[in-house]
Amino acid sequence: MLGGPIAGAPVDFSHGDVDAFRPSPGSFEAFSDGVATGGKQAYTEYRGDFAIRQAVAQRLAAFTGASVDGRDGLIITPGTQGALFLAIASTVSRGDKVAIVQPDYFANRKIVEFLEGHCLPVRLDYMDRQASAGLDLDQLEAAFKAGAKVFLFSNPNNPTGAVYSRQEVAHIAELANRHRATVIVDQLYSRLTYTGAQFAHLRAQTTDAAEILTIMGPSKTESLSGYRLGVAFGSQSLVDRMEKLQAIVSLRAAGYGQSVLGTWFNEPQGWLTERIRLHQGIRDDLLSVLRSTDGLTVRSPDAGSYLFPRLPPLSVPHLDFVRFLRLQAGVTVTPGTEFAPHCGSSIRLNFSQDHMAAIEAVKRLGELIERYRQ
Amino acid sequence: MLGGPIAGAPVDFSHGDVDAFRPSPGSFEAFSDGVATGGKQAYTEYRGDFAIRQAVAQRLAAFTGASVDGRDGLIITPGTQGALFLAIASTVSRGDKVAIVQPDYFANRKIVEFLEGHCLPVRLDYMDRQASAGLDLDQLEAAFKAGAKVFLFSNPNNPTGAVYSRQEVAHIAELANRHRATVIVDQLYSRLTYTGAQFAHLRAQTTDAAEILTIMGPSKTESLSGYRLGVAFGSQSLVDRMEKLQAIVSLRAAGYGQSVLGTWFNEPQGWLTERIRLHQGIRDDLLSVLRSTDGLTVRSPDAGSYLFPRLPPLSVPHLDFVRFLRLQAGVTVTPGTEFAPHCGSSIRLNFSQDHMAAIEAVKRLGELIERYRQ
């Protein structure tokens, strides 16, 4: 390590700070109501309480622009991670080919590998553009032609915050329909969209030919991660298979916790707008600080709370730099190699943090880049 | 269906009634404290909060009579179901042979089958004995000799409530050590033991040769199922593998919920004794009612809240009878075939219910048996 420590309040950018952005209003009260309801709420169907599923289905239909069947087409899971695992494990068997985006959320690849599936990477050329996410659609088509029966992606993209354009989503839908593929789309961050972003929901763009499953949950924008809640909705046959698997994986999302979903897409007037405004402010300030570093490139995220800057050439391996950043500057980030093998010079920051602490921490990042600049 | 309905308050014996036996004292307050703690409690390590693991480890060491390493040898999971899935999925690969007991908890077999493992059944001859559970130890040895690397069983046995004798447990330990097998023992009900029962903890009887994992949780005796909490403890290498898998299956047990484990094995003086006394009273009354039916045989459970009576020959298939029982008498039970292919004439009742309602429901069961008697 070069030089000494750089003083400042430690910031852990590996996940959002739910003390800076508090759980959405009424969540704890809803949980308390669930406990008071007693046995009926403790022992729900494996796919979740029927009344809660119905209420959430209506709101998700309004949000995504296509109907959701609360009885047969939606399952409540322990977090969106739970939904992702159940969806992939219900779809992918040993040797199956799965198209996944690079970069994308690391668990996508890890789950496919656990199931002994075979990943076919599809490149996302996300940098230096704003009108699209930059998916290599030719590569996606080639993956389908090579036998991929499943396409798995996050929109907004994790780690870059890129939102897929309406044209990209329509093209994905067209390819999926043509190849009768299953598409699992993780839309965890689709509520937190910034000025100018247009979010297109894949499920509103497809026919019955493709099997579509959409995954969402209140862990991020709503800061409800401590309750572990997610939902998956769409294909009824896939939801059926997921419920059978949930019965042996964890039985159900915690019964009392399910009550908290009553507050979701049901927050007080103006709450979401304000949360977006605050995050957009942090995003813009951090982008200014980051862009003052020579040779650092970063896409402005259209949605979500991730920044994925590519660092300039350094005198130490990037994984070492990530470690020094934590030890010398109190700044914890996620290394880019988690998201794609070719993203070794990038780092991911979840900027859902205390605004001022985040700015100071990113300044320390800039200082440390200068110290280790090649 | 023969005859009309039999009036009475419906009882669902497929799981315990947490309105009749309320969640253990302080659980909700502990959850509230977890929420108040904020981000630190929402985002714990994947294996669970360190301080909570340490506290639980100490209490489990005292309970089981062998040390538990809270840092490296214990993981908090979403229910004991979560622990069971992670443990088996971290141990069993395609084609692996696994010795499982018949009858035993149905998920054991289902998880092994999901993983494409191969079940080698070991018979439990549980009826008409009290001094042992009745495990066919020769068959277990044969399973190990045939290549089983894993033995999986519940103690107390689900569905019979049989507790393995000290001699049986010692014999299992000896065989596991000799064959260097992994043993996963689900002790979910091991706190709720009745007068005269002697509970022997496998983990206190083995050397390092065998890899032992014990699974417990507060969902049953403590009525905390609505929080989805379990723990697995023992083999460090197995706990490590389970945590890696948990990172892609559900991340962690709900962070706020983990706080509830602070109340576990830490209940007010006399609470457990009273809960046992009340369950023993229900057990004894239901046994009297059941045994008044000619040709019905049932073992008195040594622990837990399951009864597993074998019904006399009926004029209709047993699965139909189970359905008629629900439709005509408002009595929901779990059919014996869930637990072993040869247990088709048995049914499982979870008698953690309102005492009087349970007695009335079992009387209606007797009445319906007479109606359908062969």
Q: What is d(CA B123, CA B101) in angstroms, rounded to the nearest whole number? A: 6
What per-residue confidence (pLDDT) applies to B324?
Answer: 98
Test mutation, A113, A227, A228, A334, chain B, max B CBs within 10 A: A228
Q: Which of A207-216, A272-281, A325-334, B25-34 has the lowest mean pLDDT?
A: A207-216
- Beta-bridged to residue B306, according to DSSP, are B350
A-chain residues near B46 (CB < 8 A) = none
How far is residue B133 from each of residues A154, B65, B144, measured CA to CA in Å?
51, 21, 20
Chain A, 210 to 269: residues with Cβ < 8 Å from chain B are 223, 225-228, 245, 247-257
Chain A, 292 to 321: residues with Cβ < 8 Å from chain B are none
What per-residue confidence (pLDDT) applies to B231?
Answer: 98
Inspect the interface and report whether the beta carbons of B251 and A81 lie closer than 8 Å.
yes
Inspect the interface and report whether the beta carbons of B225 and A42 lie closer than 8 Å.
yes
- The token pair at A166 is 């309406």
> Confidence class of residue A305 from pLDDT cuts 50, 70 and 90?
very high
pLDDT at A81 over 90: yes
Nearest residue on chain B to A255, judged by CA atoms? Answer: B226
Q: Within an 8 Å CB–CB cutoff, is residue A13 touching chain B?
A: no
Tens digit of each residue's pLDDT (9 = 90 or more) over A226-266? 999 999 999 999 999 999 999 999 999 999 999 999 999 99
User: What share of chain B in percent tops pLDDT 90?
Assistant: 97
Contacts across the A-B interface (CB distance below 8 Å): 119
Tens digit of each residue's pLDDT (9 = 90 or more) over A308-345? 999 999 999 999 999 999 999 999 999 999 999 999 99
> Confidence class of residue B31 from pLDDT cuts 50, 70 and 90?
very high
- Residue appearing with tokens 């484990």: B261
Q: What is d(CA B232, CA B216) in angstroms, rounded to the nearest whole number? A: 6
What per-residue confidence (pLDDT) applies to B207?
Answer: 72
Give the Cα-Cα-Cα angle B35, B40, B46 (nearest 5 degrees): 105
- Residue appearing with tokens 């915690």: A254
Q: Mean pLDDT for chain B?
A: 97
Inspect the interface and report whether the beta carbons of B250 and A78 lie closer than 8 Å.
yes
User: Which carries the bigger pLDDT value, residue A87 or residue B130?
Assistant: A87
C-beta separation of B132 from B165 below 8 A: yes
pLDDT at A209 over 80: no
Tens digit of each residue's pLDDT (9 = 90 or more) over A177-198? 999 999 999 999 999 999 999 9
Inspect the interface and report whether the beta carbons of B43 and A18 lie closer than 8 Å.
yes
C-beta separation of A362 from A286 below 8 A: yes
Query: What is the dihedral sign for C-alpha A283, A286, A288, A293?
Result: negative
Q: What is d(CA A150, CA A157) in angstroms, rounded to the nearest whole number? A: 17
Q: How far is A33 from chain B (nearest CA, A)?
A: 11
Q: What is the mean pLDDT of residues A283-305?
A: 98
Q: Within an 8 Å CB–CB cutoff, is residue A79 touching chain B?
A: yes
In this complex, which of B18, B35, B245 lies closest to A28 when CB atoms are compared?
B35
- The token pair at B180 is 């260097």
Q: How far is A75 from chain B (nearest CA, A)?
A: 15
Q: What is d(CA B232, CA B228) in angstroms, rounded to the nearest whole number? A: 14
pLDDT at B264 over 80: yes
What per-residue confidence (pLDDT) applies to B129?
Answer: 83
C-beta separation of B338 from B287 below 8 A: no
pLDDT at A213 over 80: yes
Q: What is d(CA A109, CA A101) in angstroms, rounded to the nearest whole number? A: 9
What per-residue confidence (pLDDT) applies to A128?
Answer: 84
Q: What is d(CA A331, CA A368) in angstroms, rounded to the nearest whole number? A: 10
Beta strands B334-335; B74-77: pairing state: unpaired
B-chain residues near A247 (CB < 8 A) = 107, 110
A278: number of Cβ within 10 Å: 14
- The token pair at B209 is 């040769």
How far is residue A294 from each of residues A251, A298, A344, A359, measured CA to CA in Å?
52, 12, 18, 18
> Confidence class of residue B128 from pLDDT cuts 50, 70 and 90?
confident
Q: Within an 8 Å CB–CB cutoff, is residue A118 touching chain B?
A: no
Nearest residue to A199 via CA among A222, A173, A169, A233: A169
What per-residue confidence (pLDDT) applies to B210?
Answer: 78
pLDDT at B193 over 90: yes
Inspect the interface and report whether the beta carbons of A81 and B249 lie closer than 8 Å.
yes
Beta strands B334-335; B347-350: pairing state: antiparallel
> Confidence class of residue B130 from pLDDT cuts 50, 70 and 90?
confident
pLDDT at B243 over 80: yes
Test mutation, A29, A249, A334, chain B, max B CBs within 10 A: A249
A-chain residues near B94 (CB < 8 A) = 94
In this complex, which of B110, B245, B252 lies closest to A248 when CB atoms are compared?
B110
In this complex, which of B81, B85, B255 lies closest to A226 when CB atoms are compared?
B255
Consecutive H or E run containing A332 = strand A331-332
Tens digit of each residue's pLDDT (9 = 90 or more) over B46-65? 999 999 999 999 999 999 99
pLDDT at B26 over 80: yes
Q: What is d(CA A134, CA A228) in angstroms, rounded to the nearest whole number? A: 31
Q: How far is B222 from chain A (nearest CA, A)?
A: 13
- Contacts by B317-322, CB closer than 8 A, 24 or more apart: B318/B344, B318/B345, B318/B347, B319/B344, B321/B368, B321/B372, B322/B347
pLDDT at B308 over 90: yes
Test mutation, A15, A223, A248, A332, chain B, max B CBs within 10 A: A248
A-chain residues near B35 (CB < 8 A) = 23, 28, 31, 226
Q: Within an 8 Å CB–CB cutoff, is residue B58 touching chain A?
A: no
Nearest residue on chain B to A107, judged by CA atoms? Answer: B248
Inspect the interface and report whether the beta carbons of B245 and A38 lie closer than 8 Å.
no
In this complex, which of B23, B82, B245 lies closest to A250 when CB atoms are compared?
B82
A-chain residues near B248 (CB < 8 A) = 81, 85, 107, 110-111, 114
Beta strands A97-102; A118-123: pairing state: parallel
What per-residue confidence (pLDDT) applies to A348?
Answer: 98
Inspect the interface and report whether the beta carbons of B226 and A34 lie closer than 8 Å.
yes
- Beta-bridged to residue A310, according to DSSP, are A297, A346
Query: What is the dihedral sign for C-alpha B351, B352, B354, B356?
Result: positive
Q: Does residue A14 sit in helix, strand or coil?
A: coil
Q: What's the predicted TM-score (pTM) here?
A: 0.97
Tens digit of each residue's pLDDT (9 = 90 or more) over A106-152? 999 999 999 999 999 999 999 988 889 999 999 999 999 999 999 99
